[in-house]
Amino acid sequence: MTRLLLPLEHLPDSIEQDDDALLWRLNRLPRRVQQVFLLSRLDQLPFASIAQRLDLSCAAIERHMNQVLQAAQQARTPVSREACLWYVRLQSPDVTASERIDFRRWLDAAPEHLQAFHDTELRWRTLLAPARMLGHGQWYRQPWAAVSLGGCSVAVGLGLAALLAIGFWS
């Protein structure tokens, strides 16, 4: 992601979370969402590059990244959800100057907005270790990485059943 508001020195102990629970939640996300996340977090690709690589719109990349941040959040309050939306939106190449102004207004509107945004930035930083575990073997770099074997086997099974049914009635 791009420039952060917080300095990079160190993460407070209070933001640490059980890696197993976080990894479990990230593993439950759809494969395409995981792929977008890993390309962003591990390969540090910008949204436009990910969109081009996966033949998706920037809006789809934003939705996927927001899903990841929502899954990673410990406290899911309306303010934290909005902070996640802002955090992801500000990374998009489609963000406008007007939206940046709206963000500053939102940030300045209440102290809890600034805190929620900082928490979101810290959460993003803590996702590196789980991302490395999730992306083990670099499966996410393959163009077919988001194709589910389970979905393919169901489609093949239905196709074979249809062929058998047609052959049976012929």
Residue 61 burial class via C-beta count within 10 angstroms: exposed 0-12, middle 13-18, buried 19 and up = buried
Task: Collect the ranges in the chain with pLDDT lower than 50.
Answer: 1-2, 8-17, 150-151
Predicted local distance difference test score (pLDDT) of residue 21: 85
64, 38 Cβ separation under 8 angstroms: no
What pTM value is reported for the model?
Answer: 0.73
The number of domains in the chain is: 1
- Tell whether 61 is covered by a domain: yes
- Tell whether 170 is covered by a domain: no
Predicted local distance difference test score (pLDDT) of residue 145: 67
Domain, as residue range, for 30: 15-140
Give residue-wise pLDDT tens across range 120-166.
Answer: 999 998 899 999 999 989 899 887 766 655 445 556 667 777 777 77
